[in-house]
Chain A
Amino acid sequence: MLVAYAAGELDLETAGALEGHLAGCPACRSLAAEQAAVWQALDAWEAPAISPDFNRRLYRRIQNEVRLSWWERLTRAFRPMPLRQALPLTATAGLLLMAGLILHRPNPVAPARPRAETVRAEQVETTLDDLELLRQFAPAGSAEGGRPDAM
């Protein structure tokens, strides 16, 4: 309360009651006097004058920032990432790549496309062989669909 009293923050009634107490209490009176002295002493500390170009410097910084943020928006996609962000991302990407390589190993046999071609050629060859076989083993006159004139 003595702090508030010295600062003049107490309402009249409370201040009056406190003064009544101070009149009969030397210890509190001494404390109140010391607090008042400190409060007054602090008034002596004035802050220096503000630089006349304070506003100009601030507005220039704001202007630069606005210009920068416009440019940043434009170049954000091409900007290298900070190392702190890039490291975990790179590590994660590396792990995913390794996991992908391990789990999805390419087939050691033949590449898909040539294999498909091989399969197709084999199939054609087999079919031709089968037809030949059919022709060879088919009863005469029925091998080519039962052509009566072939007889």
Chain B
Amino acid sequence: MGVAAAALDYDAELMLRVRDGDGASFGLLLEKHRASVIHFVYRLVQEQPVAEELAQEVFLRVYRSRSSYEPTAKFTTWLFRIATHLALNWLRDEKHERGQERLDDGSPDLPARQVPDRRPSVEQDLVYRVKVDQIRQAIASLPEKQRAAVLMHKYEEMDYSQIAKVLGCSESAIKSLLFRAYTTLRARLAHMGNI
């Protein structure tokens, strides 16, 4: 992506302003991307306090890099590259330290289910938690690149080209990666149908 193309990327423009010392532009970038970065990292590492800590590190790195920032890629590609790198590193360290037992633990970070009309019954809540736990485990069982690709594709609505840039692969490699990932997920989750 050249400078001309980057001119279309409002985020890159904001980042250039941050480079020039405009702290308010950093605030705008934070507000705009905070939730997606934290949620993405959360779904990768599956622990909310860790996700927030890593997301802080992501934005801290963005801030630290402000003086050398050049809009050579889409801002979100750069942002998610940092986030993916940090989260996958954390997972590797964690796997090294504790093995995979954590993934089979309970689900203390599950959010309360949002039902618009009334509170869910205890039974509904339990069913929901079991199903979400199955999803969590199915996602966690994927190899790390497949996991990151699925999360970017499903929850961040990124296209193949951007996912490829974040993960440093070709677009066709990403299509193949996603195909394999969804094949695994179909085997584990297709029985769920409508939740």
Contacts and interface: CB of A to CB of B under 8 A. Distances in A.
Contacts of A103: none
Interface stretch (A42-50, A71-79, A88-96, A141-149): A42-50
A51 interface: yes
A30 to B, nearest CB: 10
Interface of chain B, helix or strand or loop or mixed?
A: helix
B86 to A, nearest CB: 14
A50 B38 contact: yes
A101 B56 CA distance: 53
Nearest to B188: A38
Interface residues of A, number: 28
Contacts of A137: none
B131 A44 contact: yes
Interface string B33-50: 011001100110000100
A35 B43 CA distance: 20
A40 B179 contact: no
Interface in B125-176: 128, 131-132, 135-136, 139, 153-155, 159
B111 A50 contact: no
A44 B128 CA distance: 8
B112 to A, nearest CB: 9
Contacts of B55: 54
Interface string A36-69: 0111111111111111001101100110010000
B60 A37 contact: no
B52 A41 contact: no
B189 A37 contact: yes
Contact of B43 (A41, A45, A49, A61): A45
Contacts of B110: 48
Interface of B: 30, 34-35, 38-39, 42-43, 48, 52, 55-56, 59-60, 63-64, 109-111, 113-114, 128, 131-132, 135-136, 139, 153-155, 159, 178-179, 182, 185-186, 189-195
Given A42-B155, A47-B42, A54-B56, 20 more contacts: A37-B186, A38-B182, A38-B185, A41-B131, A41-B135, A41-B195, A42-B185, A44-B135, A45-B43, A45-B139, A47-B43, A54-B38, A54-B52, A55-B34, A58-B59, A61-B56, A61-B60, A62-B60, A62-B63, A65-B63
